[in-house]
């Protein structure tokens, strides 16, 4: 039932009163903990406790010891604030809308593959700056089981790094250096699970009830209240979502690999403990935390345990915690789920940034089909988000490509979504006649027939085939596809994220099949080492890498002088031609009309509102009513006077 405004007012007042009482009750001990930073803490608590409290009560209010845990939480916030370095404290005061700039540009890399270790990475800062990078996601670097840790996504200790990369102190130093160079460091917050070697897991195995309660241990009957509704994430490696743990004699919840144990957030001790780890990472210098696998963090019997409403409450509670102890910290959502669910994680109070898997998957779809209807229709429904927040637009990442799109939109266009996904898998694994792509299948599910695709950008766009066949026209098309994809993520609105190695057109690395620890995970085909030599080719225009890099640099340079491509609004347009994709970016008086031809044939574009246009990419003038786009051509049009 809807509340009347009078009731709401009463509730708000009640909430304020309750927060005031709580603050009074805890203030002595908080003051002692926060020391010289108590005035800051007090002010932030006054501001944010009214947000945090209802969230915490929603999650844990039914527990008799809820307020005890709340007090522990506030104390750890005070401790974290005391430990926050001065340079980050200063950032906490600055507005955090840097991701809206037309020069904001991200990259993601594995430290060892890109630079060997933390010292090596510091030496590559000039390369990052030369490329225009000002946001750098350092992929998981935490202490993890060996040899297989799911690419680092099984964390054994959030406060220790893998020894071959260097120490946590060195990482901290590196992150401070990155800040000083204008590059925001991004770390993973792998909070859905720990590895089975984390000290909590070790204690759970040793029989300590307190730590068994950090995870989900079930007998068969309990397990079966959940199991039938769950999606299998890695079906080739292990069926189901539970692993029998002999030391405990029960089943433990493992959504991903059997050595990744899901954390039980119904336990407030887990929330507090992870909040402390989160703030530790923020205080080491992370400007953004990538919330790994966030769709899975809350479980309820009889549901598919993805995207539950309390998952949102939980993330909002973490967000409120961060606003008190580390306000400059931003969250990036890694929700690779249905588009209707992806957008629900995006709001100033939840995740300010989010991967855009819909755009990613449908760009690949349009390249395969040479048609843009699914892309256009889907984005018209699902591109708009809160203006404070930003999409993180990417083409490739360290993971597979899953064919995420709304089945209903597909049906409306007369596309059978299941058949279409099969086609896409065949196309990108090179099994479809005439396909330009060299990708590999990932996690074929024998029951559902489901499958995803792995591969580097250059291999998936046709460079690998063209180079092998020494076919120049094919190579030209492949390069045009890379240019086209880059142009879209750089102009459609949001923070573009390059996947390290793709800017140089590096190809698939098939050697993972010879490595015992990697051979069952084909995503390693697109986790390639970047050598010194390859980096040097960036500026060698005669090399293939140099050409790909130069094309990208040209796009970045043009983008950086068009403010509308930063904080402007985005309108996805009906292009009037099923091979063309068009959108308009608008900021005050500046308007940029972007048009992309996804086919190998010339295509007319006739939906032009003004009569005279200038393409910012080539400084070419065009006259309405019709512009013909050449194969794979991209236009960034501004009205010419
Ligand atoms: C995320 C990571 C992926 C990992 C999974 C489990 O999806 O991107 O690499 O396998 O989480 O942590
Ligand atoms: C699933 C998860 C996603 C993860 C991927 C790893 O698709 O939804 O979070 O990135 O598995 O392959």
Catalytic residues: 292, 334
**H helices within 404-560, ranges in order?**
407-412, 417-428, 457-461, 463-469, 472-491, 532-536, 544-559
Q: Which tens digits make up the pLDDT trace of 28-38? A: 999 999 999 99
Mutate to test the pocket of ligand 2, among 262, 334, 345, 402 (most ligand atoms within 8 A of CB): 402
Mutate to test the pocket of ligand 1, among 399, 523, 526, 527 (most ligand atoms within 8 A of CB): 399
Residue 400 in contact with ligand 2 by CB distance below 6 A: yes
Q: Which tens digits make up the pLDDT trace of 380-416? A: 999 999 999 999 999 999 999 999 999 999 999 999 9
| Contact by Cβ (8 Å): 350, 316 | yes
Residue 277 in contact with ligand 2 by CB distance below 6 A: no
| Ligand nearest the Cα atom of residue 263 | 1
The 8-class DSSP code of residue 626 comes to -
Q: Find the mean pLDDT for residues 216-226.
A: 97
Residue with tokens 């029960």: 250
Residue 556 phi, psi (nearest 5): -65, -40
Report which ligand 1 atom has the smallest distance to the Cα of 190. Answer: 12
Q: How remote is the CA of residue 385 from the centroid of ligand 2, in Å?
A: 22
Using CA atoms, how far apart are residues 65 and 299, in angstroms rounded to an integer? 21
Nearest CA to ligand 2 atom 7: 336
| Contact by Cβ (8 Å): 350, 317 | no
pLDDT score for 9: 58
Determine the topology of domain 564-639 in CATH.
Immunoglobulin-like (2.60.40)
Helix 86-93 to helix 168-180 angle (10° resolution) is 40
pLDDT score for 185: 98
Nearest CA to ligand 2 atom 8: 336
Q: How remote is the CA of residue 153 from the centroid of ligand 1, in Å?
A: 6
Task: Please report which confidence band the pLDDT of residue 613 belongs to, taking 50, 70 and 90 as the band edges.
Answer: very high
Q: Find the mean pLDDT for residues 210-236.
A: 95
Q: How remote is the CA of residue 335 from the centroid of ligand 1, in Å?
A: 10
Using CA atoms, how far apart are residues 450 and 441, in angstroms rounded to an integer? 10
Residue 2: pLDDT over 50: no
| Ligand nearest the Cα atom of residue 452 | 2
Q: Which tens digits make up the pLDDT trace of 266-303? A: 999 999 999 999 999 999 999 999 999 999 999 999 99
pLDDT score for 1: 43
Of residues 173, 96, 97, the one with CA closest to residue 328? 96
What percentage of residues in the chain have a pLDDT greater than 90? 92
Residue 548: pLDDT over 50: yes
Q: Which tens digits make up the pLDDT trace of 66-119? A: 999 999 999 999 999 999 999 999 999 988 789 999 999 999 999 999 999 999
Task: Give residue limits of the domains in the chain.
Answer: 1-83, 564-639
Q: How remote is the CA of residue 217 from the centroid of ligand 2, in Å?
A: 23
Residue 233 in contact with ligand 2 by CB distance below 6 A: yes
- Which residues line ligand 1 at a C-beta cut-off of 6 Å? 150-151, 153, 190, 256, 292-293, 334, 399
Give Cα 625 to chain centroid, integer Å.
Answer: 40
Nearest CA to ligand 1 atom 11: 293
Q: How remote is the CA of residue 223 from the centroid of ligand 1, in Å?
A: 23
Q: Find the mean pLDDT for residues 581-598.
A: 97
pLDDT score for 4: 55
pLDDT score for 238: 81
Longest dimension (CA), the chain: 76
Residue 143's contacts (CB-CB under 8 Å, 6 or more residues apart) are: 155, 156, 157, 160, 161, 162
Task: Please report which confidence band the pLDDT of residue 336 belongs to, taking 50, 70 and 90 as the band edges.
Answer: very high
Residue 427: pLDDT over 90: yes
Residue 399 in contact with ligand 2 by CB distance below 6 A: yes
Give Cα 279 to chain centroid, integer Å.
Answer: 19
- Residue 440's H or E segment, with its range, is strand 440-442
Using CA atoms, how far apart are residues 548 and 467, in angstroms rounded to an integer? 14
Nearest CA to ligand 1 atom 9: 399
pLDDT score for 487: 98
Full DSSP string of 47-78: HHHHHHHHHHHHHHTTSTTHHHHHHHHHHHHH
Full DSSP string of 89-141: HHHHHS---GGGSTT--EEEE-HHHHHSSHHHHHHTHHHHHHHT--EEEE---
Report which ligand 2 atom has the smallest distance to the Cα of 335. Answer: 9
Rounded CA Rg of the chain = 25
Residue with tokens 């009513």: 625
- Mean pLDDT across the chain: 96
Residue with tokens 């029998």: 244
Mutate to test the pocket of ligand 2, among 233, 305, 454 (most ligand atoms within 8 A of CB): 233
């Amino acid at each position: 039932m809807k509340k009347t405004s009078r009731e709401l007012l009463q509730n708000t007042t009640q909430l304020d009163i309750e927060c005031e009482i709580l603050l009074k009750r805890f203030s002595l001990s908080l003051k002692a903990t926060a020391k010289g930073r108590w005035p800051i803490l007090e002010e932030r608590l006054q501001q944010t406790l009214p947000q945090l409290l209802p969230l915490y009560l929603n999650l844990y209010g039914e527990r008799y010891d809820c307020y005890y845990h709340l007090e522990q939480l506030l104390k750890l916030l005070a401790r974290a604030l005391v430990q926050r370095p001065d340079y980050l404290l200063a950032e906490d005061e600055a507005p955090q809308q840097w991701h809206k700039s037309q020069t904001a540009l991200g990259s993601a890399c594995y430290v060892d593959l890109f630079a060997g270790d933390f010292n090596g990475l510091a030496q590559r800062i000039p390369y990052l700056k030369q490329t225009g990078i000002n946001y750098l996601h350092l992929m998981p670097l935490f202490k993890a089981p060996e040899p297989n840790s799911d690419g680092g996504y099984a964390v054994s200790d959030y406060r220790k790094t893998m020894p071959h990369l260097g120490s946590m102190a060195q990482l901290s130093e590196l992150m401070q250096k990155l800040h000083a160079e204008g590059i925001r460091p991004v770390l993973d917050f792998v909070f859905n699970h720990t590895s089975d070697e984390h000290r909590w897991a070790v204690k759970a195995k040793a029989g300590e009830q307190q730590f068994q309660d950090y995870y989900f241990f079930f007998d068969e009957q309990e397990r079966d209240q959940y199991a039938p509704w769950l999606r299998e994430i890695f079906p080739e490696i292990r069926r189901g979502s539970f692993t029998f743990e002999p030391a405990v004699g029960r089943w433990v919840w493992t959504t991903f690999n059997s050595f990744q144990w899901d954390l039980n957030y119904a336990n407030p001790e887990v929330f507090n403990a992870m909040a402390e780890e989160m703030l530790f990472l923020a205080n080491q210098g992370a400007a953004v935390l990538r919330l790994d696998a966030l769709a899975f963090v809350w479980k309820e019997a009889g549901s598919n345990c993805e995207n539950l409403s309390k998952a949102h409450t939980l993330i909002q509670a973490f967000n409120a915690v961060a606003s008190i102890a580390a306000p400059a910290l931003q969250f990036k959502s890694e929700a690779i789920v249905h588009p209707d669910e992806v957008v629900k994680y995006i709001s100033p109070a939840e995740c300010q940034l989010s991967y855009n898997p819909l755009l990613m998957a449908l760009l690949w779809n349009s390249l395969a089909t040479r048609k843009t209807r699914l892309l256009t229709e889907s984005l018209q429904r699902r591109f708009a988000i809160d203006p404070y927040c930003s999409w993180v637009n990417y083409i490739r990442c360290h993971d597979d490509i899953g064919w995420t799109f709304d089945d209903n939109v597909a049906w409306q266009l007369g596309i059978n979504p299941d058949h279409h996904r099969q086609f896409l898998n065949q196309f990108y694994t090179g099994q479809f006649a005439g396909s330009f792509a060299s990708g590999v299948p990932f996690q074929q599910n024998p029951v559902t027939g489901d499958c995803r695709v792995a591969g580097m950008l250059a291999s998936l766009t046709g460079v690998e085939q063209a180079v092998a066949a020494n076919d120049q026209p094919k190579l030209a098309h492949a390069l045009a596809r890379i240019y086209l994809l880059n142009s879209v993520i750089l102009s459609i609105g949001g923070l573009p994220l390059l996947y390290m190695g793709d800017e140089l057109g590096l190809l698939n690395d098939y050697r993972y099949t010879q490595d015992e620890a990697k051979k069952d995970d084909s995503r390693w085909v697109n986790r390639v080492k970047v050598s010194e030599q390859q980096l040097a080719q960036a500026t060698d225009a005669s090399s293939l890498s140099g050409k790909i890099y130069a094309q990208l640099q040209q796009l970045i340079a043009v983008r950086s002088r068009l403010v509308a491509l930063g904080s402007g609004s985005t309108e996805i347009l009906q292009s009037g031609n099923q091979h063309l994709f068009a959108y308009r970016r608008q900021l005050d008086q500046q308007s940029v009309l972007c048009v992309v031809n996804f086919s190998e044939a010339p295509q007319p574009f006739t939906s032009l509102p003004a009569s005279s246009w200038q393409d910012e990419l080539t400084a070419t003038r065009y006259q309405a009513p019709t512009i013909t786009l050449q194969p794979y051509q991209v236009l960034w049009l501004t009205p010419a006077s």
